[in-house]
Structure 1
Amino acid sequence: MADGEDRSPEDEFQELLRRLLGGQPGAIDPEQLSRLSGMGIDPAMMSAMMQQMQSAFSQAPAEGISWDIAKRQALHIANQEGLGISSGERTDLGEAFALANLWLSEATTISELTQAPRTLTRGGWVEATLPVWQELAEPVALSIADALTAALNEQVPEEMRAVVQGAGRLMRTVGGSLFAAQLGAVVGRLSTEVVSGGDVGLPVMPAGEAAILPQNFADFGRDLGIADDQLALYLATRELAHARLFRHARWLRLHVISQVTEFARGIHVDTSALEDLASRFDPSQPEELRQALESGALLPQRSEAQTAALARLENLLALIEGWVDVVTDAATARLPEADRIAEVVRRRRAVGGPAEQALGSLVGLELRPRRLREAAAMWRAVTDAVGAADRDGLWDYPDLMPTAEDIDDPAALVARLQARARGDEPQRDAMDDALEALLNQAASEEAAADRDETPGAPGVEATDAEAGDEPATDGEAGDEPEGPRPV
């Protein structure tokens, strides 16, 4: 008698689960499925469900998140309306970039790009920026996938633990794959909204590259009543200013991304919401988990550390966007509609589009610089006081960059820069005094330690000069030396 004939339908089902959840190849055995009818299970329905589970299981790597799912989803959305770039649009935007480059060189001392600006399709923007989105979202994706695994394992009854030993990896795969698909959908929708490479404020484009998306440029200018050539010149100038800044301050890109990842690593999934979801979760029907991810229901309120990290990030983004605004306004002063376009851009950045709001729900991060106007006012005050060269020099090193306090009170920053321009010593503050006192104390302790190591009686010994004695000669102290004195 074959081994399968000795088993009950319950044994067959448990063996099938062990093989499937253990990741064994060929886990779905049609002959085994046919014997499940004794349990009242429809073999056809069970086969369909397990095929879905097996498919999700096989698409993900053993560790990490399968970002191929995100890329496929993003490109599917981005390319739905075709490429949409005509040769005329390429020429017009190329001319706009050329003139904007000349104007920008009059407004900033930061040098030109070494790579020519380009036009991008929506799919091209996805290809260029997706690696950065993955880097920013990965801490959240891993947190959700691990929390889902832990929550589902806790929901399994004790008597079923042996049956579903391999379920942890499968559930982690399901959670990670769903998150990757959601990220891909968000990036795909973003590709239909952004007008240029730096439109979202983050350095998502490769360093030193500038680009405009003609498809979205047409949507941006619709119903504004502003000539397309003026819109193109303004947006090209703004994009070049953003790209020039990140190429000049090579440390800035890593600084921004590290601030975002620091915030993301502090995200912890709401375990109570996840446990409630896990108690009724069906891997073959993941729609409820997908909706929970998209709505942000699994992300709890921010901790104090996250709030502080977000404040630092917002100040940094405001400094970047404020500098870009001031330089762009100066470079496009010749445009009759420059002020109107600038206000449209600022309002658009302040509100954010639907895809940007979806990104905030997915990773708990809003990218809008709340202090943009204050930061721009600070940069204008600096420019008026010391000129463009000293203003742009603040991006040379991280320790020169203005702080949140400088945004609050530009007068103090202006005073320091003016003193430096005159060659005067900068005014001392409490930090300088505390540092000097600390250094003096360290020097005193080192000198005392050196004296204590001197041979002889402990404590401070008087020197020969302090005691009033003449230096000892080769003879005994105080005696005249033998032999004639030299003339």
Structure 2
Amino acid sequence: MSDLPFGFAGNDPDRDDDQNKPGEPDRPAGANPFGFNVDPSAFDPSQFGALGADFDPNKLSPEMIGQMFSQLGTMFSAMGTGPVGASAPPVNYELAKQIARQEIGDFTPVLAKETSAVADAVHLAETWLDDASALPSGVTTSVAWTPVQWLEESLPTWATLCDPLARQLSQAWSLGLPAEAAALAGPMMGIMSQLSGSVFGTQLGQGLGTLATEVLTGTDIGLPLAPAGTAVLLPEAIAAFADGLDLPAQEIIVYLAAREAAHVRLFTHVSWLRQRLLSAVEQYASGITVDLSGLTDSLGDGVNPEELMANPGRIEELLGSATAFEPTTTPEQKAALDRLETLLALIEGWVEHVVTRALGDRIPATAALTETMRRRRASGGPAEQTFATLVGLELRPRRVRDATALWDRLLDATDVTVRDRVWDHPDLLPDSADLDAPAAFIDRILTGDDVDPLEALKKVIADEDGAGDAGIHPVDGESDR
């Protein structure tokens, strides 16, 4: 959309898109800040170390050769940094950041008027949300970010999410080695551990680099990636999003600001939610098991350390095989996945429900934008793609629709205060079965009459504690104190 309000400039031909950051050396317009051209999509771990049976050197152009050596040089140079052995992180995050930055490429710097526009849009949305939610405003700061700022600010959270799965997979190949091969390969373990971290760093960098150019807000993927109390909009991505819609740009911006403010409101005042969500992802990933039969087949007669020293490509081939394994989930993991998907759906459904109530009578495009966001999820938007790649998780659109319908029906049967009290404790939240049959959940809420649901839960816990204490008696000679 060519005429974005609130100061969102979009693709302004008069802007310096290659503006250097403070402290960066001058570079020619359009030049890459790293000084080389890399296609991160070529970092396919399954192709590391071998170009495949269909490799035809006659089809390699000088540019392709240059890219290949640049990529390998970047990965191997990254191996020389950071701790080694058991203290080494399972993912090389410096490499991930570098690959992601290259994937982002040139970006439009944020102007002061865009930061001011974000603050105005969030403030207006917050005023309207006050009428639709019993939770008070949670926004203390409103900011406009570039894709690079999103990458830098969100990387610590991604590390929390990715470490368990990366550690599990990076150790899978070594744990699956036959005893004789493991003894022979012992001297190479440190090198292979570092290379494994580089492989995962490359994969993570590719995903985050793409995601950074697509996300519209700080909570677009359903997780709180920005600092607490911070509402984030990304003007460049919003401008591209608006260009594909035949809707007033002003309404698009306020709608997205309302979604972001509603997310921040929920994560700020439901104190347990942020950590529970991140811990659930971590627990799910850490429990994944890996079928090592493919690795055993790829080893053949064993591993020769002399071969590994002389042919680093063999190391890459083994690691590429390890990272390409299909993780297997136990029944416990499937149950954990169901709980996690339900929690994500409840968050997204609540936000959709509250924003619709707050904006529906004020912004004509609300219904159309709500359906657009639903289609964006259904077609594999940023959240689905990222979770599926990094932790094997997909947020099913059907569950979000079901969650939204449950919040709608609960509000119809009660009021805003009772609806939002459900967030007072995780045990009060509906589960997957409640999403399938919300009437039973609503009946449970209604049968409490005027009793606060959290107070009812506290009474149950207190009764259980009292019953346990009744069976404990002081030792002879001691008095109760």
TM-score normalised by L of structure 2: 0.71
Aligned residue identity for 1:307: K
Identity, in percent, stands at 38
Distance 1:399 1:408 in 2: 18
2:277 to 256, 267, 278: 256
Distance 2:373 2:155 in 1: 24
Aligned equivalent of 2:419: 391
Aligned equivalent of 1:94: 119
Aligned equivalent of 1:467: none
Distance 1:185 1:355, change over 3 A: farther
CA contact (8 A) 1:108 1:327 kept: yes
Aligned equivalent of 1:216: 237
Aligned residue identity for 1:376: T
Aligned equivalent of 2:101: 75
* 2:90 matches 1:58: no
Q: Within 5 Å, which residues of 2 pair with 1:256-295?
A: 256-277=277-298, 283-284=312-313, 288=317
2:374 to 346, 364, 367: 346
Aligned equivalent of 2:110: 85
Look up the SS of the partner of 1:197 in the other structure: coil
CA contact (8 A) 1:153 1:168 kept: no
**Higher relative contact order (Cα pairs below 8 Å, separated by 6+ residues):** 2
List per-residue Cα deviations over 1:334-368 (Å, max 9, x = no partner). 11111000000112123323784265134322244
Distance 1:52 1:318, change over 3 A: closer
> How far does residue 127 in structure 1 lie from its aligned partner after superposition?
1.0
Gaps of 5+ in 1: 1-49, 454-487
Aligned equivalent of 2:128: 103
Distance 1:437 1:186, change over 3 A: closer
* 2:224 matches 1:203: yes
List per-residue Cα deviations over 1:88-131 (Å, max 9, x = no partner). 44343332222111111111121112522111100110111111
List per-residue Cα deviations over 1:27-68 (Å, max 9, x = no partner). xxxxxxxxxxxxxxxxxxxxxxx9999745422412232322
Q: Within 5 Å, which residues of 2 pair with 1:313-462?
A: 313-333=340-360, 334-353=362-381, 356-357=384-385, 359-368=387-396, 370-423=398-451
Distance 2:464 2:425 in 1: 27
Q: Within 5 Å, which residues of 2 pair with 1:13-32?
A: none
Aligned residue identity for 1:58: G
Aligned equivalent of 2:162: 137
Aligned residue identity for 1:345: M
> How far does residue 408 in structure 1 lie from its aligned partner after superposition?
2.9
Distance 1:220 1:165, change over 3 A: same
CA contact (8 A) 1:151 1:278 kept: no
Further displaced range: 63-72 or 51-60: 51-60
Aligned equivalent of 2:149: 124
Look up the SS of the partner of 1:196 in the other structure: coil
Distance 1:286 1:189 in 2: 28
Distance 1:147 1:325, change over 3 A: same
Distance 2:342 2:452 in 1: 29
Aligned residue identity for 1:71: K
1:244 to 265, 270, 288: 265
Structure with greater Cα Rg: 1
Distance 1:269 1:312, change over 3 A: same
> How far does residue 297 in structure 1 lie from its aligned partner after superposition?
3.0
> How far does residue 171 in structure 1 lie from its aligned partner after superposition?
0.9
> How far does residue 72 in structure 1 lie from its aligned partner after superposition?
2.0
CA contact (8 A) 2:353 2:408 kept: yes
TM-score normalised by L of structure 1: 0.70
CA contact (8 A) 1:190 1:356 kept: no
List per-residue Cα deviations over 1:218-269 (Å, max 9, x = no partner). 1212221011101001110011000110000111011111111111011223
Distance 2:393 2:404 in 1: 23
Paired residues, what number?
Answer: 387
CA contact (8 A) 1:268 1:300 kept: yes
Look up the SS of the partner of 2:227 in the other structure: coil
Look up the SS of the partner of 2:328 in the other structure: coil
Aligned residue identity for 2:149: G
Gaps of 5+ in 2: 1-71, 477-481
> How far does residue 439 in structure 1 lie from its aligned partner after superposition?
8.7
Distance 1:85 1:440 in 2: 60
Distance 2:365 2:465 in 1: 56
